[in-house]
Chains A and B, each alone.
Chain A
């Protein structure tokens, strides 16, 4: 009797959570209309924001994958006593709110920041530039990639690598020819996750890069600005973000079954 009641309660709570997760997104679709979508796409704020979001997030993911893959490989396979502390440092941005990261980025790379004068000396001024948008996205999204990539590399059987090495492959060749292909689906999934996170970045970007249409106003920032003047436009911009997120999730789910 109690058992059945508890099962019922569990199902009720689970259904409630599911509804909470799905209903707002459904409402977003309902709140919009084909004419509103057409009007929003024609709005001068839409295409620049979309283009900037795609360009900056793609750059961020490229940086994250290039630098994050060797880091993840080291974290997954090294026996060094530094693995734990470094892993912890990589995860740190996950638990720090983006707004705090934005302030931290200003204190580091802003004009009066720790490295601001050094950067200025070589002619680099990050704040208010698309590069600042990328830096903010890399900081918030990289942990997602590295964490998932570490898991993907851990699934590579050490025996297989050992065999490759005994057959004469150097460490780099063993990584490139053996470990990388095995871990690839996991890495693609990890990159999609990081891409989605970069695409959604708002807080750190707003503080570190500011907001100027066509230069630093990404889609999430455009949603924020649009909401203050044109709710319909904000709804459609939000829908576009949901669609992009859904697309990336689709890639994420499709990939584990895919082999190059």
Chain B
């Protein structure tokens, strides 16, 4: 018996860990995780991909699938914060230094991390003024289809900075937290297929229960 989990790139590490403990408790179940940008996974589900569970980085993609009758109602899985990341050795110390970056990478407008980033820039425009927001927006050199590809451009040293989730900050990178006035809280959700197998339902409950919470906390997500 297998359970197919479609997980947003930002959440990709969590179902893997959960799957391990779940499979230990249910030896006859094989949990398989596919990860990509939430918008890509949504498209695949719309085109008939056999996802039992869909963990989306923002509520909008899961809600659209729910409205289309392809998924059950989405439940909040975790919260997250958007941050700017820079290489460890970067001279940029705080978020206010970000306009000095010359090459910034963000997500495309339809991947959740890109949508959240645009909310931040919108706020920056109101709170800090056009010049500040324009200095950042004008330095955007690439739009990537998922948060891990956004991060990779900084890891490779090609970008000076990028907007990712706090949970995506990897060794070698440093987070520049957003000032409170600009902070955007990301909501990650999970939904189950309408006629899901008993195993898939069990995994869904497992992910939303104490084991799932512990795994999410472990990876730095907020409850």
Contact = CB atoms under 8 A, between A and B. Distances in A.
Interface of A: 106, 110-112, 127-128, 209-213, 215-216, 224-225, 227-229, 231
24 contacts: A110-B156, A110-B157, A110-B158, A111-B158, A112-B158, A128-B103, A128-B141, A128-B142, A209-B142, A210-B141, A210-B142, A210-B158, A211-B143, A212-B142, A224-B145, A225-B110, A225-B143, A225-B145, A228-B37, A228-B40, A228-B43, A228-B110, A229-B39, A229-B110
Contact of B142 (A106, A111, A211, A228): A211
A12 B144 CA distance: 44
A209 B142 CA distance: 8
A128 B37 CA distance: 21
A229 B153 CA distance: 23
A235 to B, nearest CB: 13
Contacts of B109: 229
Contacts of B37: 228
A228 B40 CA distance: 6
Contacts of B141: 128, 210, 212, 215
B111 interface: yes
Interface of B: 37, 39-40, 43, 103, 105, 108-111, 140-145, 153, 156-158
Given A128-B103, A211-B143, 12 more contacts: A106-B156, A110-B158, A112-B156, A127-B158, A210-B144, A210-B153, A212-B143, A224-B145, A225-B110, A228-B39, A228-B40, A228-B43
A145 to B, nearest CB: 29
Contacts of B143: 210-213, 225
**Residue of B103, B109, B143, B144 with highest tally of chain A CB at under 10 A:** B143
B153 to A, nearest CB: 7
A106 B158 contact: yes
Given A210-B141, A211-B143, A211-B144, A225 B108 contact: yes
Given A210-B153, A228-B108, A216 B158 contact: no
B105 A210 contact: yes
A189 to B, nearest CB: 35
Contacts of A231: 43
Contacts of A128: 103, 141-142, 158
**Residue of B39, B105, B109, B141 with highest tally of chain A CB at under 10 A:** B141
B35 to A, nearest CB: 15
Nearest to A103: B156
A245 to B, nearest CB: 24
Contacts of B39: 228-229
A228 B158 contact: no
Nearest to A128: B141
